[in-house]
Structure 1
Amino acid sequence: MADLETLKARKGAVRRSEIPSNVLTALNRGEIETVNLVEFLAVDHAKLFRSTRSQLSLDDKSAKLIAATIKKLADVGVMQRLADTGQVFHQVLDGSEDREAVYQQLAAHPSDVLRNWAAYMDAANAKLTFAQRLKRAKPFAIDDNMGVREIAWMCVRVPAADKIVSQIEKLHPFAKHKNYLMRRFAIELSRPCGVWTKHITALKERPEIAQPLLEFCREDETKYVQDSVANWLNDASKTRPDFVETLCDRWLSETNSKHTQRIAHRALRTLRKKADA
């Protein structure tokens, strides 16, 4: 146990070749979580499933189907691999009395990869309403692991991008939440362009739809949230510069908050570059 605690306190390797063998072994056994992208990309998902299969309430038939799919996904990109793994867990367990037990075992696992599989199980479940997706995403949105937090909003956005527009008010409590990770989740989920995901055309054309979310966070004291708000507005500035300029001007006229000033400065960075070109 002491050895595992020492590994948990490590700094991640800069290159895959520099990952210590005992760290890689522990990652593939599901004993520890990854601490950076280099480690995340180095995890062998097939080995990880074999090592953790006994910790999951899976019958032999289900386990074999999931293992076969994970093996086939070895050569695809990691994001597609995660999505397809979550989908096969959902498909194999859909209607099974063990589904929720397996989901909870994945969601609470020490390995961030298994927690990501759980999040993608929800992404694959077409029966979930938008409100249910938000509720089930909460544990992932406040996860200690940055990678899991990114997966949290993607697993809501990908299957329900249209609901982000039509039911934007359901994100208001998140944007006002006392936990800054919840606030950041609401902003990232609704970004017009986003990262590693499809753009939301309606928000690119009419960013006013999400303006209340931005207003709630315009003086946020947390840099993590400030950056998210600024990136949201920077996205919008590429299609609606008038909206971003007007909003930032009004904010700066209404408050002397250094947090708002930082957000506005970062939000206008693309427009400044265009003006200087």
Structure 2
Amino acid sequence: MSDKGDHLLFEKHLQGLKREKRIVFIWQACILVGFFGLWELASRMNWIDPLLFSSPTKVYNLLTVKLTDGSMISHTLITLFETLAGFIIGTLLGIVIASLLWSSPRFSNISDPYLVILNAMPKVALGPIIIVALGPGYVAIIAMGAIISIIITTIVVYTGFREVDPNYEKVLKSFGATRWQCFKSAIFPANLPVMISTLKVNVGLSWVGVIVGEFLVSSEGLGYLIVYGFQVFDFTLVMAALILIAIFAALMYKVVERIEGWLIKHTT
């Protein structure tokens, strides 16, 4: 009887979670539809300048034309490649550096003030230096996407490593485990949620870095289209590029959420 009651409570809990997700999704959809509807209405009623802010209808028509002729697809794929490369490189290097800092307390103490200084520096301002050093091409833009997320990844993940309960390491060492074995068996797995949270932050940072890099040097990509749109006063093109960036950033975020769910399911 008790098992049956527990099962019913669990089923009720699952139904509550599904209902909450459904309510959240409906609200999100309503906000999105309301935003585009208000934007269209404001443009048609001249509450906002239609030349400057365009409208969803104009953006849709432009995207239809550009996607049909393939020009927008090529620009989107270039930016997506650069962003994914910068995102992956920046995240992996940040985790590696954080691991090295944890492995050597002396190295960590030496590096700590420099990490704080580097984190405070505006990475975007390093763009011209990176472009001169690496050349005006994909490598420089990918480096921009990576550099803007490396430091924050390092700091957040290393802080997570340090905050793991030291008793875990003591127990493992009492059984003869080395420092590397402690890291592999306890420290690193305990920080998987922290790393996933960092991935979510890096989604936005990598897009910022790549778009700024394209602003400065590229003749291709969505960042280039934004700059070109401003130059020729084609603000519909600017809005179209911004909407595509928002769509793909949201998709990347959803992929990270799926990875988070998979890790939680298989590590708990």
User: What band does the TM-score fall into relative to the shorter chain?
Assistant: under 0.3
Q: What TM-score, normalized by structure 1, do the two folds share?
A: 0.22
Using the size of structure 2 for normalisation, the TM-score is 0.23
Larger RCO of the pair (alpha carbons < 8 Å, separation 6+): 2
Task: Flag the structure with higher helix content.
Answer: 2
Greater Rg, structure 1 or structure 2?
A: 2
